[in-house]
Structure 1
Amino acid sequence: MKHLPLFFDLAGRKVVVIGEGPKADLRVKLARSAGADVQHLDTHSITAKDFHGAVAAFVATADEAKDIMVQRLAKSAGVPVNVADRPTLCDFIMPAIVDRDGVVVAISTSGASPTLASVLRGRIEAVLPERIGTLASLAVTFREQVNALIADPARRRAFLRRLVEGPAARLALAGDEAGARRVALGELDAARRQTGSAGIAHIVGAGPGDPDLLTLKAAQLLQEADAVLHDDLVSPAVLNRARRDAEIVSVGKRMGRPSWAQADIDAELVRRVRAGQTVVRLKAGDPFVFGRGGEEVDALRAAGIAYTIVPGITAALGCAASAGIPLTHRHHASALTFVSGHSAVGSKPVAWPALAAEGHTLAIYMGATEAPAVRDRLLEAGADPATPVAVIENGTRADQFVSTGRLADLARLAAVHVQGGGPSLIIVGDVAAYAVAVETPPLAKVS
């Protein structure tokens, strides 16, 4: 390691910045953001006295001779100096910085490649949760109490680790600070009494199948889960992103097969969370689009269980994009409706005449087995038999299979996908003509 990374308290301390222009201005801004007493000077009549009492100096004149002159003056005053773009003149270097409300990450390549450091900063910024500072504040709030109430160092470390990774952390990151404090207090009391900790449920969208389409938050939660309760349609590639020692439980429901009742799934969620587990309820697509996520949230609320909701890319968006279909188009479709091919008993009937109108795109979930009835209802409602349709099976996955044709042929087209057994989405409307019919995978993926 060429440079030792240090975080230096500059509050109220003198820092000298020499030079004009964007690089000097950036150093002034950074030093002031750390609370430093910044003296911003140009190179006219500068002497070693200007550096007396300073804890650091930044030089950014963009002139090599001036840079060397000022660097020598700072050194003669015994002040560590950084010279922009001249690593051989530097006592310390400037890292690329990620600052999220007091949580600071510094990235350095020891001056070898500032561009690489900047790229890495962008990647870290994309991964860090937006409210990570709130989580740091939660940890500060409880630190003294934890030190006072948990004497054993190993148990104390375990509690603090859970505080920043477990249920309280997830509530803080979701913006529920009051809920996070309540959960943390409960866990602290349990830890003090050496009883079980409170758990949490995360209702998470797995996306349409391609694991690279998981949201960052979904991927993070899969790495934290004690148990993953997943739908049958969640792809194995997505399940492989879960923590290695997490318990993977299939609670899927598939038509015509033995499966879990919704009440049993609700009860299992409640049971596991009350036992102290962090549970990810992983649903194909988005939990709130034909995913029964709302029913499970109702059950968790009724039981007084802590939970968060993580949306996912729903099948209509992912599959259509992967097949090259724009669901809306300025010249062809100004309305879009998601429709279920299967309706629950007692649900409101679908207004097929409105759905059959021109300029309207239909994305029909779970419709392959009901394709004849869907076709008939649309035709009876006045749809043109020549309306383009596309059936997308295993959308976004390596084995994606797309059939295209006309509404009049929908039953025949869908029958092939029923035999295939993979999850299928039907798109009806003029935009379906944009689909690329593919019978041999793989298909180019969406990123």
Structure 2
Amino acid sequence: MIDSPPKKLSATARRAFANAGWVFFDRIFRMATALLVGVWSARYLGPSQFGLLNFASVFPTVLTSLAGLGLANVLVTELVRNREYSENQLLGTSFILRLVAGTVSLFAIAVTVRVLYGDQPVLQAMILFTSSVLVCQSADVIDLHFQSRVKSKLSVIAKSIAFLLSTALRVYFLANQFSLLAFSSVVFVEVSLSAFILILIYNRQEGQHILNWRFSRRLATYLLHLSWPIMISDFFIFIYMRADQFMLKELATDLELGKFSAALRLSEVWYFIATAITSSFYPTIVSLKTQNEEAFQRAFRQLLTLLLSISILIAIFITLAAPFIINLLYGQQYEGVDDILVIHIWSAVFVFMGVGSSYWFILHDHQRLLLVRTIAGAVINILLNFVLIPRYGAVGTSIATLIAQMTTAYFVNFFIAKARPVFFVQTAAFADVFKLTLLRERLKRTP
């Protein structure tokens, strides 16, 4: 039972909102800066070369989930619960697991691109530069540690410094008309700097040192047992989110790929909001789950209602403003991108829903159900791409993505008995949005 006074709950909520605020600041700052530099890059390179630059990130993006081993949410949960293993064991074991997985993934990509693009050495080098993130992401266990303590401010500082320096380098390359290879190398600069600064801040702010971390074989087995379904699920998510670009390159043209990449930047840039809100409130929700099931269910529904409200407002705004935004940012050479964006932005509604509901599966030890519904979405997306891309190009890809996201995040839950409670909470959240429940509750609390 929760007998905490309202002041304590309010303090917890304020702390979560403050934590989310730091993440929002980081993402909004990145979004605004990346948008300006990204538009400059798109205009400078043109649709075809801009498409190739984005294509270089497809391989590492697809393997990011495998290199991360699905440990993110599991590690945060274990750090909050703090049961059998020490913090140094949890961080040390997760770091080594991710480092090994990232190195193996990078080697696999190197072999693959050598076989597929042996006659294109520049493209090979571009892909390897962007794939460096797979190794450097092992240091993100520090970020997850800060999340578990609701201290995302420290992660924001580290990543913002790295982002600022890498952005300055991009601007220098643009001003001096550097090649595509130079632009792709900036990814390596940013991720390596971010990892280095995260380690420095952890050592100084926490009064600890990564040399105190310890690897536990038993803990590694336990973590992998919990995380492997999430890893495979995340892999299939990236497959059907990035297979679009690969299939566009093979089934359509570089021009269509460039247009889709331009729309994607304006559509996916909003996804950080779902992650920021959910990760900030997750430690509180984990605590509620262990104390009061009714309070947990109520908080879970409120979280989904908030995520849906925000995502629907974003989708409506972009739908109405798309022609103006595309013409202002990209110009006439990207004509038709607004049609792609209007369709693709509605996928965000179900992405937000999927991010918020994924924690329910982890807390109930139903990670394998995440895998089932994700595979269903991946299969639907790829099959629809084969049908729609030859006829409609990038517009067809956007339609396929929307249907796949809708299926994965929402409808599949109804057909899986153990996931059906999530479907009903999601449906209730949709009803709350249309009834303006959050707004009415807020007005009632206003004196």
TM class by smaller structure: under 0.3
Q: With CA pairs under 8 Å and 6+ residues apart, which has the higher RCO, 1 or 2?
A: 2
Q: Which has the larger radius of gyration?
A: 1
> How high is the TM-score relative to the length of structure 2?
0.21
User: Whose helix fraction is larger, Structure 1's or Structure 2's?
Assistant: 2
